[in-house]
Copies of this chain bind each other. A is one copy, B any other.
Amino acid sequence: MSTKRDFKIGMVGYKFMGKAHSHAYKDVGMFFDLDVNVYMHTICGRNEQAVKQAAEQFGWEQVKTNWKEMVEQPELDLIDINAPSDMHKEIAIGAIEAGKHVLCEKPLAMTLKDAKEMLAAAEKAGVKHGICFNYRFLPAVQLAKQLIDEGRLGEIYHYRAQYLQDWLVDPNAPLTWRLRKEIAGSGAHGDLNSHCIDLARFLIGEFDEVIGQSQTFVKERPLIDQPDQKGAVTVDDSTSFLARFKNGAIGTFEATRYGTGWKNGNCFEINGSKGSIRFNLERLNELQVYFTDDDEHVQGFRTINVTEPVHPYAGHWWPAGHIIGYEHGFVHLIYELINSIVHDRPFAPSFYDGVKCQQVLEAVDRSIAERTWVKVDEVE
User: What is the minimal beta-carbon distance from A304 to any residue of chain B, in angstroms?
Assistant: 4
Asked, given contacts A30-B58, A271-B259, whether A162 binds B160 with beta carbons under 8 Å apart, the answer is yes
Within 8 A of B (CB), among A191-211: 211
Is B250 touching A282 in the complex (CB atoms < 8 A)? no
Tell whether A346 is near chain B: CB-to-CB under 8 Å. Answer: no
User: What is the minimal beta-carbon distance from A177 to any residue of chain B, in angstroms?
Assistant: 15
Interface residues of A (CB under 8 A from B): 1-3, 16, 19-20, 22-23, 26-27, 29-30, 52, 55-59, 61, 143, 146-147, 152, 155, 157-158, 160, 162, 164-167, 169-171, 211-213, 215, 217, 238, 240-242, 244, 248, 250, 252, 254, 256, 258-265, 271-276, 281-285, 287-292, 294, 296-305, 307-308, 310-311, 317-328, 371-373
A304: which B residues are within 8 A, CB to CB? 297-300
A165: which B residues are within 8 A, CB to CB? 321
Main SS of chain A's interface residues? mixed
Q: Complex Cα distance A57/B316, Å?
A: 13
- Chain B residue, CB-CB nearest to A328: B325
Q: Complex Cα distance A379/B263, Å?
A: 39
Q: Complex Cα distance A229/B165, Å?
A: 50
Q: Complex Cα distance A16/B211, Å?
A: 38
Counting chain B CB atoms within 10 Å of each CB, which of A56, A157, A305 scores highest? A157
Is A289 touching B281 in the complex (CB atoms < 8 A)? no
Q: List 16 A-B contacts (CB under 8 A).
A: A1-B52, A16-B318, A20-B318, A26-B27, A30-B59, A164-B271, A170-B292, A213-B242, A260-B271, A260-B273, A264-B319, A282-B305, A297-B308, A317-B325, A323-B323, A323-B326
